[in-house]
Amino acid sequence: MDMNGLSRAILDKLSYGVLAIDNDYRITLLNKAGADLLELSPDEVLGENMYEVFEGAPEEVRHVERTVKTHKEYFVDVMPYHYGKYEKYLSIQTRLLRESDTVVGAFVEFTDVSNLYKKQLQLVSRVESLSVNVIPLSEGVAVLPLQSTMDEFEFNHIIDKGVERVSELRVNELIIDLSAIGNIDPVLLANIQKLVNTISIIGTNVMITGIRPSVAIEWTKSNEGNIQARFYSNLGVALKDVFYT
């Protein structure tokens, strides 16, 4: 295998697309991953003009052509690639091709990030719609029920919005109810401690209720430090302590 053949074989092993053009916008290279992503045959497009192969593509997605024209390289983390048969989100990086000090073209590396981007949008939408139920019971007293299905990102949302809500309501006594949590792991425990510490820093006393026996056992096995809170078997007992003592 000659050097050109070897280089081509290496390019075809890459998991991301590579497309190169010369100064006349003719396609000089398209590797296998790029051809699959763009649904093209390299043999049919090599030597063809970019503006003819991708006829109708809007100027805002023509970054490799713009790199040839302006000699500027571009990086776009998430680029909507929506025209014709394409409904994708691509991550792209363009680079100049040089021989000695002369620019002879440009190439673009590109990856399909559609699935990742859509999952990120769904996660952001889910978190934004996640209600932080700081429930006021009386002046200065409120309850915050926690759910077991929260991931790290959602729990940080709870901390940010929950503390903000506690401050707005001028809560002096906050009851964090854990009765919906059936099991606990070190990550969730660390998050609960972070929540309690953050609320304590703003001057609010914290009570924790509803810890199940299985959760209590796992809690005592953990290496987390002492949580600055008062513990009660259930919400009713905590409320009696607040209102009748």
123, part of any domain: no
Where a domain ends, among 117, 139, 160? Answer: 117
Is residue 230 domain-shared with residue 133, that is, in the same domain? yes
Q: pLDDT-based confidence at 245, cuts 50/70/90?
A: low
Residue at a domain's end among 89, 117, 145:
117
Pair (10, 63) in one structural domain: yes
The better pLDDT of the pair 120, 96 is held by 96
Confidence of residue 53 (pLDDT cuts 50, 70, 90): very high
Average pLDDT of the segment spanning 92-108: 94
Same domain, 10 and 108: yes
Whether 59 shows a pLDDT value over 80: the answer reads yes
| Domain termination site, one of 117, 143, 164 | 117
**Considering the entire predicted model, what is its pTM?**
0.54
Q: How many domains does the chain have?
A: 2
Q: If you search the block for the tokens 């401690």, which residue do you land on?
A: 193
State the average pLDDT over residues 43-60.
94
211 near 238, Cβ under 8 Å? no
Residue 112 resides in a domain:
yes
Segments in the chain forming alpha helices (H): 3-13, 32-38, 42-45, 50-53, 63-70, 114-129, 152-168, 186-201, 213-221, 235-244
In this structure, what CATH number is given to the domain that contains residue 217? 3.30.750.24
DSSP 113-151: -HHHHHHHHHHHHHHHH-----EEEETTEEEEE--TT--
Q: Are 17 and 95 found together in one domain?
A: yes
Segments forming the whole domain that contains residue 111: 3-117
Written as six digits, the tokens of 116 are: 């990742």
CATH number, position 89: 3.30.450.20
In a domain, 122, yes or no: no
Confidence of residue 130 (pLDDT cuts 50, 70, 90): low
